[in-house]
Amino acid sequence: MAPSYEIGTKFKNAIGTFATPTVISLGEKGSDSLCIAVENGDSATEYIDILLKQCAVDLVLVAPACKDHAPTQLPSPWDNAHNNTEIDLSDVVIISKPVTSLQALMNSWVMKTDWNFSST
**How many Å apart are CA 34 and CA 41, to the nearest integer?**
18
Predicted structure pTM score: 0.80
- End-to-end CA, the chain: 24
Nearest CA to 45 out of 71, 21, 65, 68 is that of: 71
Residue-level pLDDT, tens digit, the chain, 120 residues: 888 888 888 998 998 888 888 888 876 666 665 556 676 667 888 888 888 888 888 899 999 998 988 888 888 777 655 555 677 888 889 999 999 999 998 888 888 776 665 655
Residues 59, 108: contact at Cβ < 8 Å?
yes
Nearest 10 degrees: Cα torsion 74, 76, 81, 85 = 60
